[in-house]
Chains A and B, each alone.
Chain A
Amino acid sequence: MKLELRGITKRFGSLVANDHIDLVVEPGEIHCLLGENGAGKSTLMNVLYGLYQAEEGDILLDDSVQHFEGPGDAMRAGIGMVHQHFMLIPVFTVAENVMLGHEETKAGGRLNLDAARARVREISARFGFDVDPDALVGDLPVGIQQRVEIIKALSRDASVLVFDEPTAVLTPQETDELMTIMRQLKSEGTSIVFITHKLREVREVADRITVVRLGKIVGEASPTASNSELAALMVGRNVELTVHKEPARPGAASLVVEHLDVIDANGIKVVNDVSFEVHEGEILAIAGVQGNGQTELTEAILGIQPRTNGSISLNGTRLNGQSVKKVLNAGVGFVPEDRTHDGLVGEFTIAENLMLDRSDQQPFVKGGTLQLKALNDFAEEKKREFDIRAESITTHAGRLSGGNQQKVVLARELSRELKLFVASQPTRGIDVGSIEFVHKRMVETRDAGVPVIVVSTELDEVVALADRIAVMYRGSIVGIVPGDTPRDVLGLMMAGETGVAA
């Protein structure tokens, strides 16, 4: 089926997320929508899928104008979507998830689960998936869950399939398998819209590439275009993909982690026998696909994982078993993975957020009373120093852009005297300018002699920042390699292959 979007405009209040976007996807074509985080790709696809209503513009399928009141209409018209955050119900089985929304019933209104199971098996057989229709989705690994999403879309005979950032949660090997599936779908005549911000994937699989920036189409490119050409188009200027930094001058081992296990609420060892050390003045990057224990590892260092075995010590002082407060007071700076969820209080002002982790300490508190003058002076200074773009220090943190929010977190953490700096996904979802700023500050922190740990799922970031790289897979460290290790080796390690580093 041919999909055409004509002049789609979507506003949120006075903000224009999609500005007169035109897009044509031919039948049996893989059309890549390339753009930075926040460029408006997902908004566009949510308009296409009927989740949002566009203020202007038309959606055409095979040249006839469609009116989608909701996702139900879009699905009936033949549009399927594999969502970035899987739209699966964890406590339902695969078959129940697949049948939801277009259930067949037997006499007495009883659900026809057999039919749904058969449908799952049939589609699985067609693509060589190994999916048990009666498994609970919540128990399945992420890669399999994504296949359930694909089965869900195909079970409704989708002829236009949208993949929204599908590789974010996949290992490089799983990504390759997904590419194969996409080609197979294409050969069956399905039109595919593939949304991503990863240049490599685009060039590998796309037939055509459309680049979106700031809610507008800024150009088309062919798959033969070079990485830097695509990047320049995507960002709107020439981008330095590398970070300028001097070679590290590592000092003594400062953070020592030995045989660390982290056990989650279900009794699963999400971090399994991990040992490593970080030296003063070096950046250790922890690479790996999302969900392989990196989050839990950093949380264990901070002390918010209640069940750990093994030891974490900083300059000889044991950290695990201590309260978060003691860990912070020992000089650990921490940038959490999800800043709106864990890093900031959205309803607090910038100033209040800046004192969040020193809420009972000088100079902000004396005798149990807040020192507002000291806080305001401090906040004004940090606002300048970290170039936080906001009306004033009393602006609520929740109203800042992602990049500025991250600067607030960074300003808070870097303004204490640090013995260790841990940053988890420090540049996720922020604009390029802020990314450069964050990277620069991290290298400066390293050069000041502080050991730095960066957790990132973006290989680009890992390669750009790291002096050494530890790769995690299923809770364990596969290996620790030098910062200049080739990407393909890192990719294999991220898929759990040991022994490739040597």
Chain B
Amino acid sequence: MSVTTPNTPHETVDPVDDGLEKAVVKKWKAPIAFAIFVIISALLFFVARRDGVTELRLSAENDAIKLPSIEAPVMATGIVVVILLALMTAGAFWLANQAKRIPLWLTAVFGIVFMYGFLTWAGADKSIPITGLLLGSVALSAPLIFGALGGVISERVGVVNVAIEGQLLAGAFLSAFVASITRNPFAGLLAAIVAGVLVSFVLAAFAIKYLVDQVIVGVVLNVLVAGLTSFLYSTVLSSNTEAFNTPPRLPRIPIPLLSDIPILGRVLFDQTIIIYLMYIAIALVFYGLFFTKWGLRLRAVGEHPQAADTVGIRVNSTRFWNVSIAGAIAGLGGAYFTLGSVGGFTKEMTAGAGFIALAAVIFGRWDPIRATLAALLFGFATNLQNTLGAIGSGVPSEFLLMLPYLVTIFAVAGLVGQVRGPAASGKPYIKS
């Protein structure tokens, strides 16, 4: 989980030889957040007390390699979990008192332990299918990840992309329509890319050429795409659902050997081509952004467009084309709704996924890997709600659904560390 990326915002800026004294800064936000989670788990286990044994199923019926299920007694698990969390929190306080940063792995371990405890508590006397939970998480995360990657590229080049929702929706619509009339899901994929790019064109034209506030264009575009797709759905798609809105679904392609790995094999390597394209996209965006000429220029334009201009980089066309690439990726995510899962377009079917993707961009600090992880986390939270709802655990599903949004509010409010975007994001570049 510890990812090192060059040139992501450096939180600790030590002037090299400025000779200026540095005051000691202690940051207490993270340990306090940890402590809150300890209190929550203590409340769950000891106040909202539940007894019994939770079964965590690690294998499905038809897995090649079967793992035994974990039988976790709720109370015992609770005690262990709370003690572990408390220890880690103490460690976090100690680090903060030493004015040191809390390493990402500690946060990750903390999160996993908390989640294990929560699952055990929530599933008391019932059985939770871990594979199914993860499989569903990947499915729900896929459009978020595509959207977040599009968001990362767009914002890194200096154009705030609130229109991810519109790009996803346009991708979903056009891919369903084209795949239906051609009876070819791959034509649908291509159409999704085109749809995303078209939305990007409008965003780019208004943001770059007409210098309209990018956030406003994004919001209005979302409304426009929602209206347009709903209108066309009512007039065209519904007029002949058979011909226009029954896209063939993409086949699953299990990857030999890899798909037989216990737990993760089926989750990651027995998927449709969109998911594999997603892996490629994540890798390419990460590599491209930080190790290639394209990425260097892109980031330069997003950080300090004038500096980029003075070394001969065309700022506005760089922005234009990269916003288009961002649209293509986000549009592909839209295809997942129609070709990868549901199998037909419905009105406003993205239901705010674009905004969660935007949240993932920010929570992931404009870094493709972190944003992907954030999208996975959000997908997991959503699917957890589905799973717990299915086994009837009594946790109000609305509160789990709220989770991604609450987490993001905490993130932007700086409770999980300082968040800093590309310096010139949202600012049009005006040359006299």
Contact = CB atoms under 8 A, between A and B. Distances in A.
Given A89-B300, A475-B20, A268 B15 contact: yes
B170 to A, nearest CB: 30
A83 to B, nearest CB: 7
B309 A51 contact: yes
Contact of A101 (B14, B21, B313): B313
Given A88-B304, A139-B16, A51 B310 contact: yes
Contacts of A97: 307
Given A111-B292, A135-B16, A141-B17, A88 B23 contact: no
B293 A109 contact: yes
Interface stretch (B5-13, B234-242, B348-356): B5-13
B293 A111 contact: yes
Contacts of B23: 261, 263, 267-269, 307
Report, as a range, how many residues of chain A touch the other chain: 35 or more
A301 B152 CA distance: 41
Report, as a range, how many residues of chain B touch the other chain: 35 or more
A92 B295 CA distance: 12
Contact of A88 (B19, B299, B307, B313): B307
A52 B432 contact: yes
Nearest to B18: A141
- Give chain B's interface secondary structure class: loop
Given A51-B310, A100-B313, A139-B15, A110 B292 contact: yes
B312 interface: yes
Contacts of A90: 303-304, 423
A140 B313 contact: no
Interface string B287-302: 0100111101101100
A267 B23 CA distance: 5
A131 B299 CA distance: 23
A70 B309 contact: yes
Contact of A91 (B10, B14, B19, B24): B10
Interface string A134-172: 011011110000000000100000000000000000000
A83 B14 CA distance: 25
Given A71-B311, A89-B303, A91-B7, A96 B18 contact: no
A272 B9 CA distance: 27
Contacts of B309: 51, 70-71
Contacts of B292: 105, 109-111
Contacts of A270: 20
B7 A272 contact: no
A101 B310 CA distance: 9
B432 A100 contact: no
Contacts of B299: 89, 91-92
Interface string B301-337: 0011011111111100000000000000000000000
Given A91-B10, A139-B13, A100 B300 contact: yes
Given A100-B296, A266-B22, A474-B19, 10 more contacts: A88-B304, A89-B307, A90-B304, A91-B10, A109-B291, A109-B294, A135-B16, A136-B10, A136-B13, A139-B14
Interface of A: 12, 49, 51-52, 70-73, 75-76, 81, 83, 86-93, 96-97, 99-103, 105, 109-111, 132, 135-136, 138-141, 152, 261, 263, 266-270, 272, 307, 474-475
Please list the 7 inter-chain residue pairs (A to B) with the smallest Cβ-Cβ separation, ordered nearest first. Answer: A72-B312, A101-B311, A87-B307, A267-B25, A269-B21, A103-B293, A87-B310
27 contacts: A12-B432, A51-B431, A70-B312, A71-B310, A71-B312, A76-B312, A81-B310, A89-B299, A90-B423, A91-B7, A91-B303, A99-B296, A100-B297, A100-B313, A101-B308, A101-B313, A102-B312, A103-B293, A103-B296, A111-B291, A111-B293, A132-B16, A141-B18, A268-B18, A269-B21, A269-B22, A272-B20
